Structure 1
């Protein structure tokens, strides 16, 4: 079997997967390639470490219509590993390709390694309460959630092979009559460098203004717990941070009035610095925090905002 291949309809995620692919390249001694629909990114993939870039060129604009073409290509290449960006579309395509090729598939892997001539992965189970280790024989397909890894850095002067594969994907069996994009409010918190999370410690929606004032002072975005978004509807659902919501990898994450159940902590634990504010000194959030303030957020937040604004 030959080659490690990466696919994502999102080029940024493909560059993140190159970080994993390059590590596998060292341990497996195989080349790394990227399968893409974005021809404009071909040079960027080579610079980020890809040895080969395969550009799929078809008539259908929908990424999921390329599952058959990806399966055919991997079969001809006798691919050892396929790493797929774990978006909704990516997981849909990965499942279809794995079914066509009758290959093992692990979804939502947090780590991917080459062990005992196979691929070993870890992923969260039971709502983040445990980590499961799974081993898959080659060829192995794995989906990796976005932002699990940082993008592979570009290296000047790298050379690689770039080629195009013509695809007939007109007969998808699905016709799209209308597209209604999701209207998002504010910035994407999953990419924010500073985030303030708000929880049930706030008594009413109007009190969120305290967190917003502090966020403005430090240049942060506002996130929240599931209860704030889906039960109280104080903030839009794209602000919800947790195992089934957004995951943030911020330089600074400040949790205000959040008890810190595991479902929320899973969404923030990759942040560089976590600061927690809660009146309950035994709140689980303090176990995940680098710094903790045991106090009333109604007193602490205004004081923090005032101190920062004076600087």
Structure 2
């Protein structure tokens, strides 16, 4: 039995993977199968394109403990390809499954395409200066980070659900305490609009320019790593980059951001990028859809004023 199999411990990520899965299924003429833990979610996944949902029924709370069970299921089903949500826990689970199945693993793919019997993935390498294209062997596992694809939409698609009672082993997982990360304001990774500040700001008083623009746009403020870690003008959960948050807003406006490759790696998937910088040769302009060369102290107030 072949087919495309999808798994994530987070429902929104599964819905995003269904978008990638449907395109791939149409190209390969394959069925889409979702592995999930909530029977309540099964109907939603079917409406969004799943042909078959395998609902694993257990009260064990830690997703990593299900790796062996998922590996056993995949070994029996012999999937064409497996898409797993690239969350921190998802990547851990994917690596365990790949090791148990002795199959290929591609992490952080941003594109996956099928033609005939060939499946190719694309992923960013070297902090964004290169794209690696890889051809998958049968049964390979691919992790795709959250928000890489939009969530699949509801339709009149028909499918079925299979309930499987399981009891995962938990020999190596003992959790003494859970301390959730508390974000100041909202999580920038889910923001629709962002105003980003960089070293081009003269001093902390210039943050007011960003705040006024963000207020007019109903946007959140983010920053480069140096603003958070060197200047401490914003908290570390607000910086965007390779080692910070990866964002994908509809609008991203940068103020005084040079656009080094480590920063661009975190925001390159923004739908519209607007850059303001005094240096016409700043790397940020290569990534921007719209660029304004000039003093942000003059330009930002004019933009804010135009927004009414």
Q: Give me the TM-score of the superposition, normalised by structure 1.
A: 0.94
Cα drift, residue 149 of structure 1: 0.8
The answer (yes or no) to whether the contact 1:33–1:51 under 8 Å persists in 2 is yes
In 2, Cα distance between the equivalents of 1:139 and 1:235? Answer: 44
Give the aligned partner of residue 224 of structure 2.
225
Range with greater deviation from structure 2 (67-76 or 298-307): 298-307
Q: Does 1:76 align with 2:76?
A: yes
Root mean square deviation of aligned Cα:
1.5
Give the aligned partner of residue 233 of structure 2.
234
Cα drift, residue 16 of structure 1: 0.8
In 1, Cα distance between the equivalents of 2:79 and 2:289? Answer: 43
The Cα offsets for residues 31-88 of structure 1, whole Å up to 9 and x where unpaired, read as: 1011112332111100100001111122320111110111111112122211001010
Give the aligned partner of residue 303 of structure 1.
302
The answer (yes or no) to whether the contact 1:60–1:170 under 8 Å persists in 2 is no
Give the aligned partner of residue 287 of structure 1.
286
Give the aligned partner of residue 58 of structure 1.
58
Give the aligned partner of residue 159 of structure 1.
158
| Within-5 A mapping of 1:10-159 | 10-115=10-115, 117-155=117-155, 157-159=156-158
The answer (yes or no) to whether the contact 2:4–2:21 under 8 Å persists in 1 is yes
The answer (yes or no) to whether the contact 2:38–2:57 under 8 Å persists in 1 is no
What secondary structure sits across from 2:56 in the alignment? strand
Cα drift, residue 190 of structure 1: 2.0
Cα drift, residue 243 of structure 1: 2.5
Taking a change above 3 Å as real, the CA distance of residues 235 and 135 of structure 1, as seen in their structure-2 partners, is same
In 1, Cα distance between the equivalents of 2:31 and 2:47? Answer: 14
Q: Give me the TM-score of the superposition, normalised by structure 2.
A: 0.95
Cα drift, residue 26 of structure 1: 1.3
Cα drift, residue 206 of structure 1: 3.2
Gap runs ≥5 in structure 2: none
Gap runs ≥5 in structure 1: none
The answer (yes or no) to whether the contact 1:11–1:38 under 8 Å persists in 2 is no
What secondary structure sits across from 1:131 in the alignment? strand
Range with greater deviation from structure 2 (217-226 or 266-275): 266-275
Cα drift, residue 240 of structure 1: 1.4
How many residues end up aligned between the 2 structures? 308
The Cα offsets for residues 193-232 of structure 1, whole Å up to 9 and x where unpaired, read as: 2110110111223321210111011111111111112332
Taking a change above 3 Å as real, the CA distance of residues 59 and 170 of structure 1, as seen in their structure-2 partners, is farther
In 2, Cα distance between the equivalents of 1:59 and 1:43? Answer: 20
The Cα offsets for residues 67-121 of structure 1, whole Å up to 9 and x where unpaired, read as: 0111111112122211001010000000000111111111111111225634311
In 1, Cα distance between the equivalents of 2:230 and 2:118? Answer: 44
Range with greater deviation from structure 2 (289-298 or 212-221): 289-298
In 2, Cα distance between the equivalents of 1:230 and 1:57? Answer: 44
The Cα offsets for residues 111-151 of structure 1, whole Å up to 9 and x where unpaired, read as: 11225634311111111111111122101110011111111
The answer (yes or no) to whether the contact 2:27–2:116 under 8 Å persists in 1 is no
